[in-house]
């Protein structure tokens, strides 16, 4: 168990809908990362937050947004969902925003868009 929790575990929704994925980092970790894992794209970095502030942005669509709250949990919002958004979404946390620290991954949220 990495100490990173993600809810829900599974999510099934229809095209055009909006969903929110939630992540709680390991105790003491200030940095949260979001990734998308799909068969065709592999593991793609979406966005990073450090202590409430956006730190880095990757291949995140404009329909997606995220935030990190004062208690350090984070939410990833996906809107106007398309079939191609079906994927496994991982949250990871690390003690610092610096790149030399390893990241600890949650179990993921499997999103299915029908």
Partner 1 sequence: AQSVAQPEDQVNVAEGNPLTVKCTYSVSGNPYLFWYVQYPNRGLQFLLKYITGDNLVKGSYGFEAEFNKSQTSFHLKKPSALVSDSALYFCAAISTGSARQLTFGSGTQLTVLP
DSSP letter string over 3-45?
S-EEE-SEEEE-TT--EEEEEEPPTT--EEEEEEEETTTEEEE
Q: Counting contacts by CB under 8 A, is residue 74 touching partner 1?
A: no
Q: Counting contacts by CB under 8 A, is residue 103 touching partner 1?
A: yes
For the CB of residue 32, give the shortest distance to partner 1 in the complex, in Å: 13
Q: For residues 59 and 45, what is the distance between their CA atoms, to the nearest angstrom?
A: 6
Neighbours of 82 (CB within 10 A): 12
Q: Counting contacts by CB under 8 A, is residue 42 touching partner 1?
A: yes
Q: Counting contacts by CB under 8 A, is residue 111 touching partner 1?
A: no
Positions in the binding site for partner 1 (CB under 8 A): 2, 4, 33, 42-43, 45, 48, 55-56, 58, 90, 92, 97, 99-100, 102-108
């Amino acid at each position: 168990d990495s100490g990173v929790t993600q809810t829900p575990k599974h999510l099934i929704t229809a095209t055009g809908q909006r969903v929110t994925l939630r992540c709680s980092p390991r105790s003491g970790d200030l940095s949260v990362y979001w990734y998308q894992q799909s068969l065709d794209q592999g593991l793609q970095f979406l966005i990073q937050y450090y202590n409430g502030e956006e730190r880095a942005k990757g291949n995140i669509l404009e329909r997606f947004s995220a935030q990190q709250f004062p208690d350090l949990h984070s939410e990833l919002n996906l809107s106007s969902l398309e079939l191609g958004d079906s994927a496994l979404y991982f949250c990871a946390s690390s003690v610092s925003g610096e790149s030399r620290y390893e990241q600890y991954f949650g179990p993921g949220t499997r999103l299915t868009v029908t």
